[in-house]
Amino acid sequence: MLLVERGVDPYRGARALPGGFLNHAGEDILDAAHRELREEADLDVARLHLEQLGTYGAPGRDPRGRVISVAYLAIAPELPDPVAGTDAADAGWESAADVLSGRTKLAFDHLRIVTDGIDRARGKLEHSALATAFCRETFTIADLQQVYEAVWGVQLDPRNFYRKVQKVPGFIEPTGQERRATKGRPARLFQAGPTTVLHPPLVRPESTDSEGAR
């Protein structure tokens, strides 16, 4: 996940989610989320899934006063090194396991927000076709399989996954192209299809523990 190191008080030096305040009274909150992501992480909007996660408005969550934060969950492939922004001394990618376990300390109630975001991402991955958002424009079935294996820490049979994922109508579409790796038979390339909701889920996690994230 993308975190910034706070350069100003409060919580100076601690890690925090990238974010900020509305620019002016007329700015849409979704536009503001895009803007902050662009300013603090230099993330392009292409191939970027962005959905509202939730709103956090407990009275004491910010020592500066009453702050109500609308959190957005973003998922994107290809991870560029983010650049330091205006009020961020440093920004960089962090392992989700490090944050969830408490090894990386977060400012404000951002650990709670991160926990909610991971839960949402897991649920979305399971019940929708969101997994393709982790892949490039075109991808192989093995690429897609790696997404599912990374998120839940499971090992899937490539042969069964290969057919299962193609049987879901509208999930992925073949492009006719191939990708050659250093070894082995070339793999067919696919792109995301129009389907967004999956019945039934492709994978069903056995235990709901908080491990398995990378």
Q: Which does 150 bind (CB under 5 to 8 A by kind): DNA, a second copy, none?
A: none
Smallest gap from Cβ 153 to a second copy, in A, equals 16
Indicate the residue among 5 and 149 with the shorter CB distance to a second copy.
149
Under 8 Å between Cβ of 15 and 105: yes
The label of the residue with tokens 């995301």 reads: 192
Between CA 89 and CA 6 the distance in angstroms is 6
Q: Which does 159 bind (CB under 5 to 8 A by kind): DNA, a second copy, none?
A: DNA
Q: Which does 199 bind (CB under 5 to 8 A by kind): a second copy, DNA, none?
A: a second copy
68 CB neighbour count, 10 Å cutoff:
11
Q: Which does 162 bind (CB under 5 to 8 A by kind): DNA, a second copy, none?
A: DNA
Indicate the residue among 146 and 210 with the shorter CB distance to DNA.
146
Q: Which residues bind DNA (CB under 7 A)?
A: 140-142, 157-160, 162-164, 167, 178, 180-188, 200
Smallest gap from Cβ 207 to DNA, in A, equals 15
Under 8 Å between Cβ of 32 and 16: no
Helix axes 141-152, 110-127, angle to 10 degrees: 140
Between CA 153 and CA 147 the distance in angstroms is 10
Q: Which residues bind a second copy (CB under 8 A)?
A: 25-29, 52, 54-55, 57-59, 66, 68, 70, 123, 127, 197, 199-201, 204-205, 208
Between CA 76 and CA 47 the distance in angstroms is 6
